[in-house]
Chain A
Amino acid sequence: MRVNPNFTADILQNLYVSQNQEQTTIQQMSSGRLINMPSDNPAGAAQLVENQVQQEQNDQFQQNTTAIEGLMHSADSTLSSVVESLNQAVSLGVEGGNTTKSPAELQSIAQEVQGIQQQMVQLANTSYEGNYIFSGTLTKTEPYTLNPSSPDGVTYNGNTGTNTVTIANGNNVQTNVPGSQIFQGAGGDVFGALQQLVTALQNGDYSGVESATTALGGSLSYLSQQRVFYGNVLNQLTDNQNYLQQEQVTLQTNANSIDGVDMAKAATDLSQEQVTQSATLAALAKIVPMSLLNYLK
């Protein structure tokens, strides 16, 4: 039987194939990735695109969470100061309700309460990163201004708008409570009660002082309930950070299972490919000089 005498083309083709495999393995080892081009695994490449987007989204959710945490902390600590000042005002009210106090003493207590009133307006006008946190969605408008002619002593310039931020897929949190709801909600009007107290003190109206103090105590406990909102959101954010970090690990694991190189296997493949190649080269080197001519001297 006659065989193709020009076997070099075949051997060269085999060499080309094993060189190609070797290059692929080296590329996988050096990049640490199985998919270096979509054609390496088209479905896997598509999954990697999705996975990458999800990882970046997860990263963004973490950033959103951190950003809101700052805002929530700022609101919460502001309300803590508000509660402190109001407690002070309640004590002053109790003191002023005592009929042993002279009218002159009541006037000086009234001035102290007015000081608290101003302090309260300042606190309600707290801003975070350039935005007023208690003006609804009118975040560039100072929510409260003092207004002696108003029955509650202030004017609310904000609105009742609320914002929500997505902190995980399907998880949206409200990020603000409008000032009109916290300070002057249906359950209690802090500014109204303060103004009532000031007026009663100025008029030397002991029973008026007493009832204003009671009203102030009531609106203080309502405000404390509102404050719980921020505490709850902060807890939710902490839980969410943990969830997102776990999710990040899951996503990375998924990506690795699609695309990760098993280094031990790759190293074994590489050494096998090198053996194949050097065997082919050795065979070529032995066969090429072999011909009848070598034996005719």
Chain B
Amino acid sequence: MGSLTSSLWIAANALDVNQAALDATSNNIANANTPGYSREVVDLSEQTPVEVGNLTFGTGVNLDQIQSVRNQLLTLQIAEQTSQQNGAQTQLNALQQVQGLFASTTQGIGEAMSSFFNGISQLSTNPTDEAQRSSVITAAQTLASSFNQAAASLGTIQSNLNQSVSQTVTQINALTAQIAQINAKVGQMQQLGQDPGGTLDQENQLISQLSQLTNVSETQTQQGLTITTGNGTALVVGNQSFNLQVGNGPTGMQDVFSQGQDITSTIQGGTLGGTIQARDQNIPSVLSQLNTLASQFADSFNAAQEKGFDLNGNPGQALFSYNTAGAAATLSLTTQDPNAIAASSDGTPGSNGNITNLMAVETQPLPAGEDPIDTYSNLVAQAGDLTSQAQANVTSSTASLNQLNDQLGALSGVSINEETANLLNYQNAFSAAARVVNTVNQLAQTVLTMGTQAAS
């Protein structure tokens, strides 16, 4: 049965509910620009009506829940794309440095090799000329140095990447520890039947940060959320996190271990995956080609030297030497003596007969299959290819990440327009409910003063 009291209670309840809805709206507005925030919506329902006889009386509004709007599938896809994008970007940064070493056609190994052979060609016009012989030795020295420099620069890029492995692992461990703590909290809230909304947002944000560092997969288990690397190494199981360790691997680089097992080669995506890919695949591949070129070129030229005679009429000696452990880094000259160039084919100083053999080194295929210049230009093309592939990966993963972020934003993003409209609605409802309280109050006054009015 309708009564003033029930109207008052309905209005008072409506004040509370609209107050709560205003809170949610206010929270949405406050977090409009917070990364990872999912907007909250207020679920309202009508309170169970009371039936008296054949009349039904409403009993007001009920606040069911304040829920965050999220889509777990999209969140997972975004995490996946984020690691791909970060991995490609990290790789790209490293490869841009690598290709920079081979970018110039007017300096570097190709140019040094060209100058060296042109110097020998010039020597053929006057094989006894000391100045020209000296300039051949200088060109040979420049060539050896440019191999040394390229190898050293590759080494520097590689060791910088190597340092960042342990830094990244430290960051991963810090994040997984935080996620485990939040997992514990979410578990408690869920046991108490609370919506862990804001806490889940925090967790998603941490997972998003984690997936910038490495590719992870998430599964819900009885213990709560489980996070593993893409390859299945556990990082977080419920409220427990498993630290990754860094230690020396077989190549002397910092490898990543999980519970004593070397998992370096299984890590993909994210800063860590990109770093390891560039450090263990891209750079060694370029360096090994550089080493092959250095050693085979040196062998080939030394063999040509040994077919001739130096200016003093002695049999030609090897001009280049190197250490097989790193030919490009260790390529050096065996002598600085200009007379050592074996131009002569018969031991007479004026003969240039062996220069044909020396020059043939430039155009004859090395054991690796192509002549030195072609081998070098292939190396340039390969450095460019690797970089442009990484560039393409960055572009495509950025595009799909934007697309996914758009989708998630359409679902979970805070729209100021929408919130403003809600604000007006809830404000009006609140004012109206307050007016009802006021009205009921006036009615009560009327009722209470009914008798007195009659008496006076």
Contact = CB atoms under 8 A, between A and B. Distances in A.
B286 to A, nearest CB: 11
B409 A6 contact: yes
A281 interface: no
A250 B100 CA distance: 28
Contacts of A36: 103
Contacts of B233: none
A37 B402 CA distance: 28
A52 B387 contact: no
Given A64-B124, A163-B353, A296-B420, A46 B409 contact: no
Q: Which label, helix, strand, loop or mixed, suits the secondary structure of the B interface?
A: helix
A128 B387 CA distance: 53
B114 interface: yes
B129 interface: yes
Nearest to A33: B105
A10 B413 CA distance: 14
Interface in B370-427: 373-374, 376-378, 380-385, 387-388, 391, 398, 402, 405-411, 413-418, 420-421, 424
Nearest to B113: A53
B351 interface: yes
Interface of B: 32-33, 95-96, 99-100, 102-103, 105-106, 110-111, 113-115, 117-118, 121-122, 124-129, 344, 346, 348-353, 356, 359, 373-374, 376-378, 380-385, 387-388, 391, 398, 402, 405-411, 413-418, 420-421, 424
B118 A56 contact: yes
A51 B110 CA distance: 11
Nearest to B386: A39
Interface string A279-297: 0000000000001110010
B380 A45 contact: yes
A60 B350 contact: no
A137 B348 contact: yes
Interface in A151-203: 159, 161, 163-166, 172, 175
A46 B373 CA distance: 10
A68 B117 CA distance: 18
12 contacts: A2-B410, A2-B411, A39-B96, A45-B103, A46-B380, A53-B113, A64-B121, A64-B125, A135-B350, A136-B348, A137-B352, A296-B420
Given A43-B381, A291-B420, A67 B126 contact: yes
B344 A50 contact: no
A258 to B, nearest CB: 11
Interface in A7-56: 9-10, 13, 36-43, 45-53, 56
Contact of A37 (B103, B106, B349, B424): B103
Contacts of A148: none
A273 B356 CA distance: 54
A114 to B, nearest CB: 30
A5 B215 CA distance: 28
Given A37-B103, A52-B106, A68 B125 contact: yes
B122 A67 contact: yes
Interface centre among A1, A57, A63, A163, by most B CB within 10 Å? A163
Nearest to A255: B105
A131 interface: yes
Contacts of B102: 38
A271 to B, nearest CB: 24
Contact of B349 (A43, A57, A139, A293): A139
A49 B384 CA distance: 13
Contacts of B106: 52
Contacts of A172: 356
Contacts of A6: 33, 409, 413
Contacts of A53: 110, 113-114, 373
A264 interface: no
A239 interface: no
B402 A64 contact: no
A53 B373 CA distance: 8
Contacts of A56: 111, 114-115, 118
Nearest to B102: A38
A5 B128 contact: no
Nearest to B391: A39
B387 A39 contact: yes
Residue picked from B102, B124, B387, most chain A C-beta under 10 Å: B124
A116 B411 CA distance: 110
A185 B276 CA distance: 74
A52 B105 contact: yes
A49 B373 contact: yes
Given A41-B384, A64-B125, A166-B359, 6 more contacts: A2-B415, A4-B408, A5-B418, A137-B346, A164-B352, A296-B420
B420 A293 contact: yes
